[in-house]
Structure 1
Amino acid sequence: MPSKHQTGTTRSGRRLVWFAAALSGIVAAAVFLAIAELAALLFARGSSPLLTVGSFVIDIVPRWAKEFAIETFGGNDKIFLLVSLGVAVVVAAAIAGVLQQIRPPLGVVVLIAAGVFAGATTVTRAGATPLAVVPVILGLAAGVVILILLSRRLPKRAANGSDDERAAFDRRGFFRVAGIAAAGAVVVGVGARLVNVTTSSITAVRDALKLPAPKSTVTIPDGAEADVDGLSPLFTPNDKFYRVDTALTVPTVDPATWTLTIDGMVGEQVQITFEELLAMGLDEYVITMTCVSNEVGGNLLGNAKWLGIPVRDVLKRAMPDSKADMVLSTSVDGFTASTPIESLTDPNLDAILAVAMNGEPLPLEHGFPVRMVVPGLYGYVSATKWLTKLTVTTFDKDEAYWTPRGYDAKAPIKLSSRIDTPRIDKQLPAGPAKIAGVAWAQTVGIAKVEVSIDNGDWQSVNLTTAINDDTWVQWWMDWEATAGTHYVAVRATDKAGNLQIEEQAPIAPNGSSGWQRTLVRVG
């Protein structure tokens, strides 16, 4: 019968071997990803397994999860996904390492299954090349070799924990090999990813791009912007403009090679280069954009100056069929949006192919070199970034990315208003104060904004001068704040006489609605 000391040593040895087995799986996965990153740099830059799997996850994620991620993490939702995916890889790899130790070759089978899955997500991504699967194959081969090499350095029946087996465990040799492999994976993987990002970056091209002067500019009327602390500026800075899309990494598109294809129900298929697009002449527009994921009182909207070309002028070249009722726009990353064709061809609507935003070429994360901007429609049915194709079709024949995921195929922006200040998280001092915010009713325009304090009568407030009916307006009112807790509500009326919907509705299937009510603390 073994002594207590011997039993403790046995248990300690078992734990060490289980740890080493799990570590062997994690190191093998790290080598897999590192070699795949290096191969992607050499053969197919968009074929990083971690990123293609992440993009696949974005595509299949249920609507509630997408809404939760945007509401909880905002613009950091992609980072959250990558971190979560990394944790999942570590856990799965550790399990593979343990399985390889107790029931070989199950660990290798798990690793191969992961590789097949990664390969499938890679070759089915939009724009995948014939070499797209090469990084996965090379990475998988390296990972399998490392897993077998490390597992052979462990006791064969470690689960039994016999003294002879522990004696056969060359701890120093195992951890030396594992350490070298892990360090090499970090250096190669991180280095390849950084080189990939740096050398494929289109930032320098964007910075050097000189756009022609616009044929026309928008005159900003006097009184278009109010001077109120805490109020959103009239124009949202590019680095503050909301970003919601399905791209795990920002696509890099060179204007020199960019083309826009117009096909489908057309008299003639057309392909336009970036240079040809600019030669059509740019005009300036001011348009507010809103995401369907914007909750009541949310910040997923912004107002900007855009330079672009009317979509109708581009479509006209292809001679759309009169029976078509939808244009399916496609991004270089495979995202699609379904836009009613009348929203793109109506001469009274400024639907544009935008190339600049707030006085500079489109930021990479906002669609460089070309994106769509369509007033009056939520972005998921109109505002395709990194645009590469317009397919003239019908709603009966085709559907866009978000339609089968529970969102309406058509989604006009709802009349809405928002309180910017006072904020619920900041206490006001008693005395003179201002309540202010923004309101929008795209293609119609705002006629009136009203505020109610503590469920009192609705009071009309001051409005700034609207730039046009496609932009938000700022509003404000003077208020004598008294100590205590107060409830402030806001509602808007558009120029057609429609009152903002009071009933609360979720963002799906076609945008949130409801009057914003917020708590104000006065001390």
Structure 2
Amino acid sequence: MQTRKFGALAGLAAAGVALGVAEAVAILTGASTSPLLSVGGVVIDSVPASVKDFAVDVFYTYDKLALSIGTLVVLAAIAAGIGVLATRRRIWGYTGIALFGVVGIAAALSRHNAPWYAFVPTLLGAAAGAGVLHWLLTHEAGDNATPEERRWFLRAAGYTILGAAVVGFAGRWWSTRRNVEADRAAIDLPSVPPNTVAPLPPEADANLPDLAPFVTPNKDFYQIDTSLVVPQLTTEDWKLRIFGRVEKEITISWAELLKRPMIERYVTLACVSNEVGGGLISNAKWQGVRVDDLLAEARPKAGADQVVSRSIDGFTAGTPTAVLRDGRDAMLAIAMNGEPLPVEHGFPVRMVVPGLYGYVSATKWLVELELTSFADFDAYWIKRGWSAQGPIKTESRIDTPRDGSNPRAGEIMIAGVAWAQHRGVSKVEIRIDDGAWQTATLLPVPSIDTWRQWTLKWAATPGRHRITVRATDNGGQTQTDAVAPPDPDGATGRHSINIDVK
């Protein structure tokens, strides 16, 4: 029994050293070569859409953190098992470490734009792990060990694990830290001509407690992407390539992009994974260059009905070319709410396309626009079963009162937001219990591309009540009551809350 316990501890120490050394080496070779990040990236890319939906539903925007923790837990369990096997035959332990090394190397080399030396961190980490396993097993405190020998083993293994954790976390921090924040802070955003700025009506925000503000602060803007670690791309390194089925291929540097005419617009972005009444939707003021102007220069060829936007980490989104050229304010955004894009929201450049869910339009850390066709290429989420076309559906949400709350009887304010990007919201209605639909007051908006706040005063009577909301867009289409999940093209249904009036 003691032999198995000490073997498991030796396996954990060996795995810790292997990861710690690999992360430290990744300081020099780049964060993308980290075996933990590479394997995690492969897992994210490989899971079915249903699993991704489950992760977002359970862990919300912390889904990738949960994946990282889960990966470490599984790795620890397997490492302990390898250590136990190694107490029986050393070769089994070395073989287990070698197999993990092969998996890590294969994952690192499979990543988008992986350098040829992507295998180095995993290789050196595996070698270090094997060395530690050999050292600890040579001094194993088995069933016949003295108390002093067991204490020595525990101290040696414990210090090894602690040291590996420190080195690993420090390596991860350094390998993902470039001077991007300093680069971002030094940016002097170009001015936007007054005639290209969408003014914000002063009455657009009701400023009610619990009601989502019309403009979402950057720190509160929802964040969903497929990258385990936020890509770090400086403006000096950034460039945009427009290629594929075009008459003229274009490459644009950061300095060249800033010289182009800019627009400033309020646009609401929504994630296709947003459940009815969910919070994966936010509104911001964006500054950038119109995509249509760039496509006009590149001159798409006949049949190029899809523009594939590609991130520095390899993520792709396919947007209909016709949508990008129909006059809407689709842009390459460089600023968000008056400041350069936050790194986690795509710095230095991202796509913003009104009216489409983010999975087919809102690519962060943008570096390529490829003109192709839907018949020839399926983007990231399309390969995983989602719809190729992602127009945002007419939806609405009750923000106040909160579901399950206990307001006092009397006049209370019911309020929330409604959206139908690039169509606009023309009416919002509220129903109390099974009563008649009542028309809410709509607050003004700067354009049809944003969500819209609404309010309704209600003389609340004591007892339990159910409140339901529905919206109608400018085309006369009323939000459906048919319930559908996010997969494959966005959730439907009407948001309802239950309250107990005192």
Place the TM-score, normalised by the shorter chain, in its bin. over 0.9
- Tell whether the 8 Å contact from 1:253 to 1:369 is kept in structure 2 after alignment: yes
In the aligned structure 1, how far is the partner of 2:170 from the partner of 2:362?
35
Aligned counterparts of 2:97 and 2:401: Cα–Cα separation in 1: 54
Q: How many residues align structurally?
A: 500
1:240-255 alignment, distance < 5 Å: 240-255=220-235
Most deviating of 282-291 and 420-429: 420-429
User: What is the deviation of 1:316?
Assistant: 1.9
Instruction: Tell me whether 1:107 sits opposite 2:106 in the alignment.
Output: no
Give the corresponding residue for 1:338: 318
Correspondences of 1:220-231 after superposition (within 5 Å): 220-231=200-211
| 1:140 is aligned to 2:126 | yes
The residue number in structure 1 matching 2:495 is: 516
- Partners of 2:107 and 2:69 lie apart in 1 by 19
How far residue 191 of structure 1 moved from its aligned partner, in angstroms, is 2.5
1:132 aligned counterpart, secondary structure: helix
Contact 2:263 2:287 in 1 (8 A): yes
In the TM superposition, residue 202 of structure 1 has moved relative to its aligned partner by: 0.9
Check conservation: 1:44, 1:131, Cα contact below 8 A.
Answer: no
SS at match of 2:380: coil
Aligned equivalents of 2:400, 2:203: Cα separation in 1: 19
Contact 1:153 1:169 in 2 (8 A): no
CA contact (8 A) 2:49 2:385 kept: yes
> 1:228 & 1:189 partners in 2: Cα distance?
46
Is 1:202 equivalent to 2:185 in the alignment? no
Q: How far apart, in 1, do the equivalents of 2:45 and 2:358 lie?
A: 17
Question: Aligned partners of 1:181 and 1:506: how far apart in 2?
Answer: 48
Which one has the largest radius of gyration? 1
Q: Would the aligned equivalents of 1:73 and 1:80 in 2 still touch at CA under 8 Å? A: yes
Per the alignment, residue 262 of structure 2 pairs with 282
Q: Which residue of 1 aligns with 2:406?
A: 427
Q: Could you tell me how far 1:42 is from its partner in structure 2?
A: 2.1
User: What is the one-letter code of the residue matched to 1:247?
Assistant: S
The 3-state SS of whatever aligns with 2:116 is coil
- 1:499 counterpart residue number: 478
Match of 2:4 in 1: 18
Equivalence for 1:9: none
Find 1:153's aligned residue among 139, 147, 159. Answer: 139
Which residue, 450, 463, 484 being the options, matches 2:442? 463
CA–CA distance in structure 2, aligned partners of residues 495 and 194 of structure 1: 49
Shift of residue 166, structure 1, vs aligned partner: 4.4
Structure 2 unmatched runs, 5+: none
Gaps of 5+ in 1: 1-13
The 1:44/1:302 distance shift into structure 2, 3 A limit, reads closer
- Distance (whole Å) between structure 2 residues aligned to residue 179 and residue 167 of structure 1: 18
- The TM-score normalised by the length of structure 1 is 0.93
Question: Where do residues 257-272 of structure 1 align in structure 2 (5 Å cutoff)?
Answer: 257-272=237-252
Per the alignment, residue 295 of structure 1 pairs with 275
Aligned twin of 2:60 = 74
Given candidates 331, 334, 342, the residue that maps to 1:355 is 334
Residue 182 of structure 1 deviates from its aligned partner by 2.3
Question: What letter is aligned with 2:459?
Answer: E
CA gap of 1:416–1:176, structure 2 versus 1, over 3 A, is closer
2-structure distance, mates of 1:54, 1:393: 29
| 8 Å contact from structure 1 (residues 449, 491) kept in 2 | yes
Q: Distance in 2 between matches of 1:195 and 1:390?
A: 31
Amino acid aligned to 2:276: V
Measure the CA separation in 2 of the matches of 1:493 and 1:186: 54
Aligned to 2:76: 90
The structure-2 alpha-carbon separation of the partners of 1:396 and 1:483, relative to structure 1 and needing over 3 Å to count, comes to same
Equivalent residues of 2:394, 2:473 under 8 A apart? yes
Partner of 1:212: 190
Paired position in structure 1 for 2:35: 49
Q: Secondary structure at the match of 1:286?
A: strand
1:238-271 CA deviation, whole Å, 9 max, x = no partner? 1111001101111000011101111111112211
Deviates more, 1:379-388 or 1:497-506: 497-506
Which portions of structure 1, spanning 4 or more consecutive aligned residues, are displaced by more than 3 angstroms?
165-170
